[in-house]
Structures are given as C-alpha cells and as structure tokens.
Amino acid sequence: MPFGFSTCYHANNTEYVGSDEFIQLMISKGALFGWYFTYIPVGKDAPLSLVASPAQRSYMLKRVREIRAQRPLFVLDFWNDGNYVDGCIAGGRRYFHINAHGDREPCAFIQYACENIHDKPLLEALKNPMIKAYHDHQPCNTDMFRPCPMFDNPEILVEMVNQSGAKSTQEPLSAESVEQLYQKCKPIADKLKPVADKLCQSYQEES
C-alpha cells in the first residue's frame, strides 16, 4: 500500500522536519510522498509563538525543492508551491471543504461559511456568496509564494467574509471574528512580504 507523511512545520520544528535526518527516517519507513503545511494560528487561543518565521518559510521553500530533486520521495509544501498552481486553490477553484457539522468552508483553514450541506444540494455550494467572493479575488497577488487570502493577504479575507456575510464555523467558545484573525495575521504577513517577494523574483529569473 503506497503511503506518505503529513507534517506541520512551525517555529520549533521547521529545521528538523526539513532536515535530511527526518527525510531519511521517512524513507526508511517506506514513505513515497510527503505534505508540508505551515502552522496557522486559527482559533482565538492559537499561540502566535508557533508561527514559522520568514527565514523558516524560506528555508522550507528551498528544502522542498532540494528534497524533490535529490531524494526518492515526492514532497509538497502547501504554501511554498503556490507557483505551480497559480496561487490559492480553495473556494471551489480546485476544492472546497465541508466540516464535521456540514458547513461549506472555502478551505479547511478558512473557517467561515454561508451555507451548510443540510440546507442546499452540494452543487449549489459553488454559487454561494463566499465561493463567488473567492472566485473574484483569486489570485490574491502576483507573488505566488504569498498565495493565502488569510495568512499572507489577510485584508482580502476580511473583505470576502464581510461581503458574503459568512459566519465563523468554529465552536461558540473558540469562534473568532475575521477582524480578530486579521489583527493576528497582518503583522505576520507584513514581515513575510519583502522576503517572499525577493524569493519569487529570483525564482522567476531562474525559470
């Protein structure tokens, strides 16, 4: 049975899960592929101290390309491979997410929705205002290493949620408004921008 690994890189483990030692361990277990997801502080109590720094995100960008070129397993980075898929794939462009309550969210990480599968047929989801807002805003910018409307361009998520009237789908105790999420993500996005834009430019010049 072919299998892979899925891992979340954050401030305390990025250098380890991107290391040759970790990759060798996964190869020795028989993994054929691997997913990397950067930590996102979704939920009002999610610690900001775990967010990977711009240097760590750059490190992972370089490492996934090295691992793909040099090692016998295929790895993907859900953020740093945005250039291969023209940015964000959510909001019905390539997929959307249905949570355990049946809420139709544009992405597993974007926990705001206008509708539930119990209200309307599945195909109707593609016409709902949040999905349309995604369609109208993609791609979120020309730097494909900053594809996310929440983490990298949080002002776009605020606009889409407010335009569509979407509500938080988190449990009542951990629900956070899109403005609260913006306050957390904006400083992170501002710090990443100059680093990611420079990387994007140098990768475009190489290809």
Binding interface with ligand SF4 (CB under 6 A): 78, 88-90, 107, 109-110, 147-150
**Cβ nearer to ligand SF4, comparing 33 with 78:** 78
CB of 147 to ligand SF4, least distance (A): 4
**Pick 22 or 109: Cβ nearer ligand SF4:** 109
| Closer residue to ligand SF4 (CB): 22 or 78 | 78
Going from the C-alpha of 197 to that of each of 22, 69, 83, 91, 178, the distances in angstroms are 29, 23, 12, 24, 25
Render 49-118 in DSSP notation, one character per residue. GGSPPHHHHHHHHHHHHHHHHHSSSEEEETTTTGGGTTS--TTTTS--EE-TT-BEESBTTB-EES-BTT
CB of 149 to ligand SF4, least distance (A): 5
Residue 144: strand, helix, or coil: coil
User: Which of 23, 90 has the CB closer to ligand SF4?
Assistant: 90
- Please report, to the nearest 10 degrees, the dihedral formed by the alpha carbons of residues 193, 58, 87, 8 taken in order: -120
We find the least distance from the C-beta atom of residue 76 to ligand SF4, in angstroms, to be 12
- Residue 52 CB, shortest distance to ligand SF4, in Å, is 14
